Chain A
Amino acid sequence: MAYCSAWGPTEILYAMDMLPFMPENYAVIAAARQQVVPFLEEAEAKGVTRDVCSYCRASLGMMWLDDGPYGALPRPNLVISYPHLCDPYSGWWELHARHFDAPMFNFDGPFLLTAQPQEHHLDWVTQQLKDLVAFIEQNTDRRFDYDRFREVVALSAQAKALAWQLQEYRKTIPSPVGLREAVNDIFYLSVFLGRQEAVDYFTLACREAEEKIAQGRGASDEEDIRLFFYNIPPWYCLDQFINLFAGRRAVIVCDYYSGFLWLGDYFDGLELNPDRPFESLARAHLYFSGVVGLDSDMERLGRAMTEWSCDGAIFNICPGCQVHSRNEILKMKKLVEQTGLPVVGYEAAQADPRTYTAEKVSLIVESFLDTLDSKGSGR
């Protein structure tokens, strides 16, 4: 078993018969099951202040309390850290590695002002994937099989293509997929890429979406207002949050998290190529929104608003998440200038329910939807 972040690369782990364990996903589960607060408090008591990412605090709290929503964290054989993807990752993963006395691999990468990696960027990430294989072989009894790896990447490519198709279906009016379904799909995009389960899941999800489109049904009973959602949603009250929109016939038809964060390569017209598995995975890695700059993010935002026919956008100001909140205030302002459409922000950490004030968020969303109504944005 390897601890890794939701960024994987699961394809390499599955190809080598390793199980990925993602502490941040476990934090999401703890939050969704309303069990996260004691873990957050444990981390805070140990000096990890509330300024730190709520996933990180929850995960460390679970480790120190030797507990979790489905039991204590498992002991890993190795830990894969991602120092370039997120601010707390390097320290957070190092603390896990030390606690469990497991060897750690730093999977690093460049930051690009635009999503246009040069050859040496690609070479670096490609070589690191190969170094990771060598690291796993050195630290476990697992051996790498290139043909098996290609098969796994082929499965990943199938699943991602289907997941992207699902995003394309969201362009339909009414959209067959809303935020609830889209962000739940991320579980399969993060945990199961490279396995048949992901292909089966997205095949079913696409079929369901096609049926809805054929019947003219949407994710919500009524869809008058189409919205874009930016940043990570509040996992501990996802239904409550989404119902704020559904009750006003508003549907979130495109979102940063399930769209161009996890599927940034597909969003930009690329796809995985199982015949060049290392290079292809490396390229996908370089299109995650976390490692590309504002020029690309603004271009993607503009495209999302236009192609998914959004009437406005809602941004979560997500305390503790610096990687996805980079220049978020500027992005909101520029998006208004770029599209002429209204944009609003509210504040809530993704896995810390103590930061979510239901009345306040409700008021913000209601006022925003009132504005859209008064502008005659509805269909």
Chain B
Amino acid sequence: MTWNGVLSDLEQLHADRHDLARAEKQAGRGIWGYTSACVPQEILAAADLRPVQLTIDGRAEYTEQGKRFNPYYYCLIAQDWLGQIQNGVYDYLDGLVHADICSPGRSIIEAVNYLELTPTSFALSYPTESNTTTRNFFVTELGQLARFIEQTTGRQITDDALWAAIRLYRERTKLLRRFGRLREEVGSPLTGSQAVRVVLAGLTAEVGRFNQLLTDLLAAAEGREPAGDGRVRVMVSSLLPEAAVGLIDLIEELGGLVAVDDFCLGPRLFAGEETQVFEGDPYRHLANEYLGRVPAPYRVSQEYRNELLVNQAMRGRVAGVISLLPRYCQPAILQYPALEKRLKALGVKTLRLEDGMNEETTRTRVAALLEACR
């Protein structure tokens, strides 16, 4: 497949995510939603269920509807997702699994459960640290999730099926790591606008299909011309790829190149060692892989997360870092001052933005940062 053809297919996969999921449901497949990268989707896949990550739509009508649940000082995710669910956007879901990483997240799963907005739901407790006590707990908790799925769907989750799912998802991790390295290279053929759309597709597409397209994209990248020659290389730090699409497009329109990002899916899957051994207790394997490594701001130390971000910025040889903080995300807000200090000490320019900011203000501030970086 051609470079542009693969990129277009990936973008379309995300645009058609709801229709594709509905079609699969009609064909008899169970569709389960999940709320973050902390949910081991492998367990859903092992039951031959199709995991779909909930994503932000961004329409004002949904965020307004979300305010019928939580007060205004909840993040965009909570308001938007609750609005979408209430409006039937996710009416194809047979179940929802939520990993406990923050209060806004809790507000979603408890409302879904209380009002029975999806046929069934599971709140997965997710420890902050990885140590003997938490790993032992999480192994049991993951087993409880598997038993819950078995009881709800009547499908059995065998260890063999779970190992097969783990292999499939690690293949995705491997491909995304290659994709990440390709992006960071000076002379990469990828723009940030293209990359964010690939990441978005990875959130919602069927994993086998996504792996195939990503393999094709990586093959098509060979020999292609650099995308950002002469442009200012910057990093965008934003928890939510959906919320950052417009910002990344704007940066590149103004002459920058978003060479690195830290989207949930990106660093969460790129972080840590690659899986080498696929044997033993699959639940313990998942507990070891997930705990302490998914850098959600609420669930890892500021030091760990800031180290990860600074290293990414350095590897990407960026002149500036633009942080798009989700408004009301307190762990992210508390983390930012230390990150800014470290980046400035390294001579990297910084710009702090918040979601919901006025478009013209954003444009002016981004243009000023790019100018300062030149």
- Would A319 and B144 count as touching, CB distance under 8 A? no
Contact of B114 among A53, A127, A293, A328 (CB under 8 A): A293
B147 to chain A, nearest CB (A): 11
Interface residues on B, range: 35 or more
Q: B349 within 8 Å of A by Cβ?
A: no
CA distance A298 to B115 in the complex (A): 12
Question: How many of A's residues come within 8 Å of B, CB to CB?
Answer: 50
The distance from the CB of B306 to the nearest CB of chain A, in whole angstroms, is: 11
* Chain B residues, CB < 8 A from A128: 133
**B58: interface (CB < 8 Å):** no
- Expressed in whole angstroms, the Cα–Cα distance for A298 and B110 within the complex equals 11
For B68, the chain A residues whose CB sits under 8 A away are 329-330, 333
Binary flags per residue of B4-42, CB closer than 8 Å to A gives 1, else 0: 000000000000000000000000000000000000000
* In the assembled complex, B104 has its CB within 8 A of some CB on chain A: yes
Query: Which interface residue of A98, A120, A298 has the most chain B CB atoms within 10 A?
Result: A120
Contacts of A95 in B (CB 8 A): 302, 334
A94 touches B302 (CB 8 A): yes
Judge whether B67 is part of the interface by a CB distance below 8 angstroms: yes
**Nearest Cβ distance between residue B101 and chain A, in whole angstroms?**
9
Which chain B positions have C-beta within 8 A of A330?
68-70, 111
B73 and A113 contacting across the interface, CB-CB below 8 Å: no
Q: Which of A31-39, A80-88, A239-247, A300-308 contacts B (4 or more CB under 8 A)?
A: A80-88
Closest B residue, CB atoms, query A109:
B125
Check if B70 sits within 8 Å of A108, measured CB to CB.
Answer: no
A51 adjacent to B71 (CB under 8 Å): no
Residue of B nearest to A345 (CB): B71
Cβ contacts under 8 Å, B111 to chain A: 294, 327, 330
Cβ of A376 < 8 Å from any Cβ of B?
no
Determine whether the beta carbon of B333 is less than 8 Å from that of A293.
no
> Closest CB of chain B to A175's CB: distance in Å?
29
Chain A residues within 8 Å of B144, by CB = 118, 120
Contact A322/B74 with A88-B330, A106-B129, A293-B113 known, Cβ cut-off 8 Å: yes
Complex Cα–Cα for A333 and B67 (A): 12
Q: How far is the CB of A103 from chain B (nearest CB, A)?
A: 13
30 contacts between A and B (CB under 8 A): A47-B336, A47-B337, A48-B337, A49-B333, A84-B128, A87-B103, A90-B301, A98-B303, A106-B128, A108-B134, A111-B106, A112-B125, A113-B110, A124-B134, A124-B137, A127-B133, A131-B131, A293-B110, A294-B114, A295-B110, A298-B114, A322-B74, A322-B103, A322-B328, A326-B106, A326-B110, A327-B111, A328-B71, A330-B68, A330-B70
Task: Report B's interface with A, CB cutoff 8 A.
Answer: 67-71, 73-74, 100, 102-104, 106-107, 109-111, 113-114, 121, 123, 125, 127-129, 131, 133-134, 136-137, 140-141, 144, 297-299, 301-303, 327-328, 330-331, 333-337, 340, 352
Q: A111-B125, A113-B113 are in contact. List 16 more A-B contacts (CB 8 A).
A: A52-B333, A83-B299, A84-B128, A86-B103, A112-B125, A120-B144, A121-B125, A124-B134, A124-B136, A131-B131, A131-B133, A295-B114, A319-B73, A320-B73, A322-B102, A327-B69
